[in-house]
Structure 1
């Protein structure tokens, strides 16, 4: 016997929904910090707002690309604070930083120059269990250096205690800014015979004339403790301790040492994409000593390369270092993470060329990091402004009152117009609220989602979207009953017709939310996200709750009675049409 389209087994759907709710609230109460409250945005809990004004040497407006690059760098540093709801917005020539809660002290230092450094690579390994080999130390020699093609190459490490004390071991040269093994290398665009001769060999590369910088200290006491503990192992001068730190380093978790490493000590660090980890020597050249970096095509091929030049003192130090360390790796390190670790092909004096399996976008990205890793602009120091949550709390109360009034009006209308179906609507909205609340708490815990006033507005609008789905379904039921069908027969047929309309309407709503989220900035993103999320959850409730409940009601003599269902008038009209059709049939 063929199954009627739209006819379902209601208890299976309801059981599935109950299972989803149980899983969600089990995650809420038994994982993470177990706080069953959503995180609040800056307008509800207060916070700090910092405005950085860009300055140029000429006094004119800074280039737009430099402002955008500075915004991206600062945004990376904001996200590294581990605070929720932090925003970095470009407003003309200003960069506005907003940090909720107690992150104001950290926010004040976000306009400082990011730390870009070049460090010799002592050992590299895949991110996971430590690769074999021991980092070479002053006085040791190392075998198995990495050539341009990623294969082993014999060589002997220098034994001076200065930068490049050893030989890289393990992996081939990694272009870690793009997460792929590639023959990335340092070289000079000049033929080897045109390369200026190095200074007399003293057994060690010449130290850069520019000081290597100083290690910054975090303000937050808990973060400072974590940084100090990380430095004891990952910036130790003991080779065995460094090797143990390399084995223990987990590149999948937040690194407390990012931005706080000491340039005068070795460093165990991850690549930026988390695919590799390294033991690095003391800083050879600071990012501030990079004069310029440009992406372009190789004159002798179609390959893309990155050309960079150093300031005079650093250029001499780089030439001396590359003269004595051909075949070894030197890594670009941005805020404690390895961006790229090319292999040195030849002694380099003057312009340095970084080659590899670059396409145009990859070359331009690496050039931008090298050129702007230290903020491309200076910013006028500004005082942090504390934002009170008093106004936001009052606004939240007003918004919740408005939402409660709107919800109550929806309830009254549904009870008056649909009666027992109105009760099902109210129950569906309550269950929808339970799911939305649990998802909001979990997203706040997992991805840092915060609830602000704009998000509250998105949820209030979503109430109307959810109620609209119920109205579409119920009106389709009435259409079916007007055509002469009973309540029980009208439910599956009405659902099939209503389902297409509900899916189309919610798809349009979700698409509008997605476009708004992509194009908007600031709190408008919160509105778009909550509206889109509520639209998706609306489908979950309509399919797994509302439709099964209406199907159960249609099978009950009590709930399907015209007096209780609110379908008395259409049921009467349908009965008249059935009698008329029966009479016409007898007449024929």
Structure 2
């Protein structure tokens, strides 16, 4: 005997759905932080907003294409650093980074220009103290080398901690930090001809911009701190205040020497021209220091950069090379061998600092420099008030839908309510898991997406129920109408949900900001709608059709169409009976 199309074994489908629910909530309960609350966006839980103001060397308005490029790089950094739920918005000449929760400290570093350069250390660093001795009155007993002698590889004196770079075959012993030399004096030097030439970075001419004072400060800093005159270098070194804002941040010329400070503001350096540019970095990863405490950043270079760095280290073993990030010395290790492979950067990093630096270097330098901005705390009061109002409106709408379904469909309306409740259970578990696995955060736009998706789910029920009424109207019983109605309604439900999912996918690809959250929740709810309709609604209706109580036309809400169906069933019989009587009489 052939099986009726659409006839199923309901308990198998319901058991499959129950298994999905059990698996989801088991993952919620026994994986991750085991929190049963989804992650919330900044509008629902508050957070931090950081505004970065772009600046140019001339003080003129930054080019639009460079702002867009900077926004894209910062967005990559946001994803690479694992800052979940953050938004990067271009507002005029500013880039605003909004981070939910307590992750504001990570957002502060996202605007770092990240111009990493490797420069040779010339002479010895001196302490960054406000009262510097006059030129030529150092107490360290340093002597002036003969003309032409290269002192770019002067090793640090006893007591200074340096971080040697590892060779490609293994990590070299190293210690953390680039501490100051308190009694060191800087000797006049000439630069080694063995340094690899570095390409000069083009910069717009100063003057004529919106801030002439800023352009003049940059020009003055270049004239002194990047001078090739040895006396001028020493004067600039002694006059440099490490605690003052650095006008050369992001604007130093890679082909000239540089007088600068370390990131801790404790030591001052004279550095030679750049050996390797940060644009030659292929990858950067944070790892724990295997030779000491703290964390390091492992770098690998592109082909040209690896050769230039290997040739330089082979020719300058025992000398110091400084890793300079945005004009500040991060680390100044002593070269202990030729490094044609991976290299480590150490600088007393903790885990978070190493991960932040690796993420910034991994995605390249920004085309513009940005003014540092303090993070501002954003209150969730307005968002919570909006959420409360939205939930109240949604609850009122759902109650009206429930009342209408009960009045119009009766038992089928009860099945609609039960299906929506079970759908809500699945959606909630998926939200919690997505927050753990991909950092998805629920915001007001996402809540709106769920509310719209509830309507889509209800539409699927209506399509099925109305097709069921059509079958009963044709004269079939409730039990025989269910499989036929499902076969005919299934295609319509799949088509409608496919269109909704396609619209959500296109919106997600083209949209930005919170609209992406709306599109994501709408698409996810549409997929879950199919799961509920196929594994819950259809089996429950099939069970109801097999029950004498729930299959009653009065309780099922099919009484009116059942009467029409009964009349249609009687008409052929009456017609047949009438035709038979006439023939007999004849």
Superposition TM-score, scaled by structure 2 size: 0.63
Bigger-Rg structure (1/2): 2
- Report matched runs for 1:545-564 at 5 Å: 545-564=536-555
Please state if 1:520 is matched with 2:511. Answer: yes
Please state if 1:570 is matched with 2:557. Answer: no
Given that residues 414 and 425 in structure 1 are in contact (C-alpha distance below 8 angstroms), is that contact kept between their aligned partners in structure 2?
Answer: yes
Structure 1 partner of 2:496: 505
Please state if 1:5 is matched with 2:5. Answer: yes
Question: Does the C-alpha gap of structure 1 residues 411 and 337 become closer, same or farther in structure 2, counting only changes over 3 Å?
Answer: closer
CA distance in 2, matches of 1:199, 1:535: 62
Given that residues 45 and 388 in structure 1 are in contact (C-alpha distance below 8 angstroms), is that contact kept between their aligned partners in structure 2?
Answer: yes
Question: Does the C-alpha gap of structure 1 residues 387 and 337 become closer, same or farther in structure 2, counting only changes over 3 Å?
Answer: closer
Structure 1 partner of 2:73: 73
Q: Deviations over 1:340-366 (max 9, x none)?
A: 9xxxxxxxxxxxxxxxxxxxxxxxxxx
Structure 1 partner of 2:291: 241
Structure 2 partner of 1:30: 30
For structure 1, list consecutive stretches of 5 or more residues without a partner in the other structure.
Answer: 121-157, 171-195, 201-206, 218-230, 246-255, 258-266, 273-279, 290-320, 341-367
Query: What is the Cα deviation at residue 270 of structure 1?
Result: 7.0
Question: Does the C-alpha gap of structure 1 residues 283 and 4 become closer, same or farther in structure 2, counting only changes over 3 Å?
Answer: farther
CA distance in 1, matches of 2:341, 2:541: 69
Secondary structure of residue in 2 paired with 1:552: helix
- Report matched runs for 1:408-447 at 5 Å: 408-447=399-438
Query: What is the Cα deviation at residue 446 of structure 1?
Result: 1.5
Q: Deviations over 1:109-133 (max 9, x none)?
A: 432332635599xxxxxxxxxxxxx
CA distance in 2, matches of 1:549, 1:425: 10
CA distance in 1, matches of 2:466, 2:394: 25
For structure 2, list consecutive stretches of 5 or more residues without a partner in the other structure.
Answer: 121-152, 157-161, 171-191, 197-254, 266-284, 302-309, 314-319, 328-334, 347-352, 581-586
CA distance in 2, matches of 1:212, 1:115: 14
Given that residues 118 and 331 in structure 1 are in contact (C-alpha distance below 8 angstroms), is that contact kept between their aligned partners in structure 2?
Answer: no
CA distance in 2, matches of 1:432, 1:60: 55
Given that residues 467 and 489 in structure 2 are in contact (C-alpha distance below 8 angstroms), is that contact kept between their aligned partners in structure 1?
Answer: yes
Secondary structure of residue in 2 paired with 1:110: helix
Structure 2 partner of 1:116: 116
CA distance in 1, matches of 2:529, 2:424: 10
Query: What is the Cα deviation at residue 467 of structure 1?
Result: 0.6
Superposition TM-score, scaled by structure 1 size: 0.62
Structure 2 partner of 1:328: 340
Query: What is the Cα deviation at residue 232 of structure 1?
Result: 13
Given that residues 113 and 370 in structure 2 are in contact (C-alpha distance below 8 angstroms), is that contact kept between their aligned partners in structure 1?
Answer: no
Q: Deviations over 1:548-572 (max 9, x none)?
A: 0000111111111111000011111
Structure 2 counterpart of 1:269, from 290, 298, 303 = 298
Secondary structure of residue in 2 paired with 1:96: strand
Given that residues 168 and 342 in structure 2 are in contact (C-alpha distance below 8 angstroms), is that contact kept between their aligned partners in structure 1?
Answer: no
Question: Does the C-alpha gap of structure 1 residues 199 and 495 become closer, same or farther in structure 2, counting only changes over 3 Å?
Answer: closer
Q: Deviations over 1:351-408 (max 9, x none)?
A: xxxxxxxxxxxxxxxxx989x8332212234343321111111111111111110110
Query: What is the Cα deviation at residue 49 of structure 1?
Result: 1.3
What is the number of residues matched between the two proteins?
A: 415
CA distance in 2, matches of 1:544, 1:119: 65
Question: Does the C-alpha gap of structure 1 residues 560 and 568 become closer, same or farther in structure 2, counting only changes over 3 Å?
Answer: same
Secondary structure of residue in 2 paired with 1:51: strand
Aligned Cα RMSD in Å?
A: 4.1
